[in-house]
Amino acid sequence: MLLSGSRRLSDLAFLVVAGLERHVGRQHLERPAADVQMLVDGDLSLLARLMGTGQPGLRWRCWQNRHCLVVPRNWSRLPGFRDAVLDCPLPVALRASGGSAVTHGPHILNISLCWLAMAADGVGIQQGYARLTGPILATLADMGVAADLSRVAGAHCDGHCNLVHDGRKLAGTAGLIRPAGGMRGLLLHASLTLASLDGDLDIIMGFERRMGRVADYRPDAHVSLSAALRGDTLSALPAPAERRDRADRGTARHG
């Protein structure tokens, strides 16, 4: 791992967010809070606020959580869920979108997009994924990390819109659509792995197996951003305070 410690992870998260700003406009990085569910629910709150305006538009959210396990909300109605939660060494939070179990934590950067569109425009989940992943892929490219979208055999929470570097999963995505009269609200989110954390995959597999699911995931099917970056790229970064000052004075803003 090229990065170690919370300070270095925080610096890398800020670097990604600052890079993303060049493509989507000014962003604020939300830091971990005491209530893991509150931060997960922040996506739905943002979507509700956007839908409440009744005006088509986009809202981005960049955030991190405390170390926890996050699973689809509909799992809470399945047999074995209560016992799986009791056996899990991490707090368990529920999300509205689908997929399977993932971990959050300071080593993960979550990037969410809420999009309110006219229903007549026919915007669907695939267009939503494209709108979410395009700026992230561009940001990674700016950092010298080539990535594309595909499935990865042996990866946890695998999907066709994984962000993939060198054949390994760098970030997963999930989403949902909520109709509202003549409008359609989309929520898309990506979880970008800044650094691998030993034990995460075992916790995911243990929880899913406790739920009666087949969970045989391979560590080598995953990669972190810190592993994808070159050491000289990281050492050349300006100090965090200097980067923040630059961002305040010169961040390009786009709609």
So which residues are the catalytic ones?
157
Radius of gyration of the chain measured on its C-alpha atoms: 18
Compute the distance between CA of residue 187 and CA of residue 96 in angstroms, rounded to an integer: 9
Compute the distance between CA of residue 255 and CA of residue 241 in angstroms, rounded to an integer: 26
Question: Would you tell me how many other CB atoms lie within 10 Å of the CB of residue 213?
Answer: 15
Dump strand ranges (E) for 40-167. 57-63, 68-72, 92-95, 102-104, 108-118, 148-149, 163-165
Compute the distance between CA of residue 246 and CA of residue 241 in angstroms, rounded to an integer: 9
Contact by Cβ (8 Å): 6, 67: no
Angle between helices 240-250 and 5-24 (to 10 degrees): 10
